[in-house]
Chains A and B, each alone.
Chain A
Amino acid sequence: MTIDILVVSSPGGHLNTARQIVCEMSLPYSLKYVVHDSKTVEIDGYEVINIIHSDRDWRIIIQLLEAIKIIFNLKPKVILSTGAGIAIPFSLVAKLTRCQFIHVETFSAAEELSLSGKIISIFANHFFVRYEKLARKTGFIYVE
């Protein structure tokens, strides 16, 4: 089974933002969420795939293997991410498999890019920031 869009996010505020964007877009395509360490199995009718959480430790290797498995199995056409660390292995695999990767930087990154954002910006095809000042500083996309 393949899907059109994979939405990758940490739980909490990142996931809330992803959910708002997905609801607002109202796209007629198949979509699944990938979240770490969450009890959530469904969000607004979309299936949620749960993977291991890595807190900047060795478990990122397992996350990377999970990202490879998910991307190879589902073959998404686009990956949308709202951060944070969970999106790093997915952005890397997306880059290697030429899957389009769209990242929306966290709203809490007001003065500078988040740590994960800095890494993801290397691999993402489209990188959005949430503050005009930060867009001027970094050269990434800001939509008012």
Chain B
Amino acid sequence: MSNNKGTFITFGNVHKIFPRMAQLILANHEILPKPIVIQAGPNIKKFENFNFKVFSYCDINEFNEYIANSSLIISHAGVGAISASLSYMKKPIVIAREKKYGEHINDHQVHFVEHFLNKGIFFVIKKEQELREIIQSKQYLQQPNSNEIGNVRKLANSIKKIIMKVIYEKKESE
């Protein structure tokens, strides 16, 4: 992988096809920064006849490496891909899976992106034109307004207290 070049596209770990996103990519692949790497999940067949690096899934370390080494990230609206992008100060372009198209079991991705609209941490697109505009104007090179989403510090501290108490009590009773 080259350093900070190219496009990384991720469909996440959802085992459902996402033809709308695949179509958006295929309609615009000529203007995407190269090389293009796609973690396609069950959509892999859509990309077989192109000069992309395509695979179904990868492990978490490889995934983070692709994010770190790409200048443009296009993703379904999954928290993992978004938070990984932000941790490398990259502002991803996201497309929410919708239940009505059979892309997910419910509309939590739609609710999730609505919650963070206009906060400057990712771009949300629905139409081909929106994707084209962001790429051609190179807006995706803007830094996001935050390097994280859903800080876990205080949450982890609360969980830590519970775990320490449980383990202490169990070790005492042994």
Contacts and interface: CB of A to CB of B under 8 A. Distances in A.
A24 to B, nearest CB: 4
B158 A143 contact: yes
Contacts of A143: 154-155, 157-158
Contacts, number: 123
B119 interface: no
Give the interface size class of chain B.
35 or more
Given A21-B155, A128-B155, A39 B58 contact: yes
A8 interface: no
* Majority-rule SS of B interface residues: helix
A91 interface: no
Contacts of B163: 5, 25, 27, 29, 78, 80, 102
Contacts of A39: 57-59
A29 B159 CA distance: 14
Contacts of A21: 152, 155-156, 159
Contacts of B158: 128, 141, 143
Interface of B: 12-13, 15, 57-61, 77-84, 105-106, 108-109, 111-112, 114-115, 149-150, 152-160, 162-164, 166-167, 170
